[in-house]
């Protein structure tokens, strides 16, 4: 009965294909997109508009870099200084420090509310030069620096109105700098997160920092004092910051304190890779073996930002998500990563 045997084999083949497709879809569903400073490729970084856009684009998590004001308010700002992304130099010229910078910690929230936020820029020959020239034009429309609570309320409000559960991904910026100024930013952030209902590892949140010393304090002291648990992520910019993390048992040791790692993407696929010879490092395998997730940063498609070993931004995503097997990426262009995972 060749026909029946064919039918049997066809059924089995279709079943196998469906199973493979399901498993593949499940594997991809576990991979996440983190909107880096919001949809910052399209709107000025860390503005509420950039966060709403990232939400609408389907990001799984939206990132907040957090610093503190002089009156102990938590604001969402990447730098500890205000001069790269606001008009502080024009509005408060006499508040500059000797190093020529304007520190957020020297300003009250009421003063920061008076600032206009914009695309990042530098001053060249006395003129503002936008860092990423293809992005949202500097000086157009009106943007401000949000507080952490405003941003959490935006995301939680959208979660209510859309029925989704999009996560937050706050980073404690320069904790040692804040401590030297007498401010315990980590405790303030953790208390605020708790007040908004983030209290367990099941909640959709990762709390990140570049400082391993601070990560330990958060894990050993601050979270237990508040009686909560949160997923913690150790950011890693390079080998020199903490060489022990790159030893064979480094990830195992780190996993005592961290649930995930956020490396510079060059630590996952070497920057000296070529299209014909990709150098995928042991980083992800070691982190996974230690039970940690891996969320590298930062994936951008501006001119010159896609490494030479990738043909395109999507090729870069393919290499990192599926050849290097990372669990998520921080990207300024969350729509492109969401589409990539959906369509693959
Ligand atoms: O936190 C992940 C990534 O944002 C780290 O880089 O400098 O943009 O905060 P940075
Ligand atoms: Ca960050």
Q: Would you say residue 264 lies in a domain?
A: yes
pLDDT the model gives residue 47? 98
What does the angle CA 78 – CA 163 – CA 136 come to, to the nearest 5 degrees? 35
Q: Would you say residue 266 lies in a domain?
A: yes
Give the rounded distance of the alpha carbon of 104 from its chain centre: 21
What share of the chain in percent tops pLDDT 70? 92
Pocket perturbation via mutation, ligand 1, pick of 38, 59, 171 by most ligand atoms within 8 A of CB: 171
**At a CB cut-off of 8 Å and minimum separation 6, what does 44 contact?**
50, 85, 117, 118, 119, 136, 143
Q: Would you say residue 257 lies in a domain?
A: yes
Reported confidence tier of residue 140, pLDDT bands at 50, 70, 90? very high
Distance (angstroms) between ligand 1 centre and the Cα of 178 equals 18
Q: What pLDDT digit, counting tens, does each position of 204-218 carry? A: 999 999 999 999 999
Evaluate: CB of 40 within 6 angstroms of ligand 1. no
Closest residue CA from atom 1 of ligand 1: 171
pLDDT the model gives residue 9? 52
Q: Would you say residue 76 lies in a domain?
A: yes
Across 23-32, 156-165, 256-265, least confident range: 23-32
**At a CB cut-off of 8 Å and minimum separation 6, what does 222 contact?**
186, 187, 190
Reported confidence tier of residue 343, pLDDT bands at 50, 70, 90? very high
**At a CB cut-off of 8 Å and minimum separation 6, what does 3 contact?**
none
Instruction: Tell me if residue 314 falls in helix, strand or coil.
Output: helix
pLDDT the model gives residue 51? 99
Indicate the number of domains in the chain: 1
Q: Which residue, among 249, 239, 262, has the nearest Cα to 290 in the 3D structure?
A: 249
Q: Would you say residue 227 lies in a domain?
A: yes
Evaluate: CB of 327 within 6 angstroms of ligand 1. no
Distance (angstroms) between ligand 2 centre and the Cα of 78 equals 7
Q: Would you say residue 120 lies in a domain?
A: no
Distance (angstroms) between ligand 2 centre and the Cα of 216 equals 18
Q: Which residue, among 102, 72, 81, 63, has the nearest Cα to 185 in the 3D structure?
A: 72
Count CB neighbours of 239 within 10 A: 10
178 or 30: which leads in pLDDT: 178
Q: Would you say residue 159 lies in a domain?
A: yes
Return the active site residues: 36, 78
Reported confidence tier of residue 28, pLDDT bands at 50, 70, 90? low
pLDDT the model gives residue 29? 54
Tell me, what CATH number does 306's domain have?
3.20.20.190
Q: How far is CA 313 from CA 269, 297, 306, 332, 344, in A?
A: 14, 14, 6, 12, 14
pLDDT the model gives residue 94? 98
Evaluate: CB of 263 within 6 angstroms of ligand 1. no
Pocket perturbation via mutation, ligand 1, pick of 262, 300, 334 by most ligand atoms within 8 A of CB: 262
Where in the sequence is the domain holding 41, given as residue range(s)? Answer: 31-80+146-343
Q: What letter would DSSP give residue 41?
A: T
Residue 219 has pLDDT above 50, yes or no: yes
Q: Would you say residue 328 lies in a domain?
A: yes
Q: What pLDDT digit, counting tens, does each position of 227-247 carry? A: 999 999 999 999 999 999 999
Write down the residue that tokens 């014909």 correspond to: 276
Closest residue CA from atom 3 of ligand 1: 297
């Amino acid at each position: 009965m060749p026909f029946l045997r064919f039918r049997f084999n066809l059924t089995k083949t279709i079943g196998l294909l469906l199973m493979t497709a399901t498993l593949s879809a499940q594997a991809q569903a576990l991979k996440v997109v983190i909107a880096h400073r919001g949809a910052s490729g399209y709107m000025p970084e860390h503005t509420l508009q950039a966060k709403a856009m990232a939400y609408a684009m389907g990001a799984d998590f939206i990132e907040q870099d957090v610093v503190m004001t002089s009156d102990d308010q938590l604001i969402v700002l990447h730098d500890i200084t205000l001069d790269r992304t606001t008009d502080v130099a024009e509005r408060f010229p006499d508040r500059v420090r000797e190093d020529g910078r304007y520190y957020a910690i020297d300003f009250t929230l009421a003063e920061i509310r008076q600032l206009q936020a914009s695309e990042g820029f530098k001053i060249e020959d006395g003129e503002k030069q936008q860092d990423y020239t293809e992005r949202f034009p500097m000086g157009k429309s009106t943007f401000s620096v949000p507080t952490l609570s405003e941003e959490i309320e935006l995301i939680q409000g959208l979660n209510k109105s859309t029925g989704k559960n999009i996560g937050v991904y706050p980073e404690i910026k320069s904790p040692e700098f804040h401590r030297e100024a007498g401010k315990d930013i980590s405790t303030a952030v953790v208390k605020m997160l708790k007040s908004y209902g983030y209290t367990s590892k099941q909640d959709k949140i990762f709390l990140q920092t570049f400082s391993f010393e601070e990560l330990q304090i958060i894990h050993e002291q601050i979270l237990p004092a508040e009686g909560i648990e949160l997923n913690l992520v150790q950011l890693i910019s390079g080998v020199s910051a903490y060489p022990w993390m790159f030893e064979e048992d480094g990830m195992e040791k780190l996993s005592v304190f961290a649930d995930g790692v956020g490396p510079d993407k060059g630590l996952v696929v070497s920057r000296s890779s070529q299209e014909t010879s990709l150098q995928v490092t042991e980083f992800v395998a070691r982190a996974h073996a230690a039970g940690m997730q891996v969320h590298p940063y930062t994936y951008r498609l501006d001119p010159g930002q896609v490494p030479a070993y990738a043909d395109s931004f999507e090729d870069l995503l393919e290499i990192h998500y599926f050849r290097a097997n990372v669990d998520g990426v921080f990207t300024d262009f969350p729509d492109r990563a969401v589409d990539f995972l959906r369509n693959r």
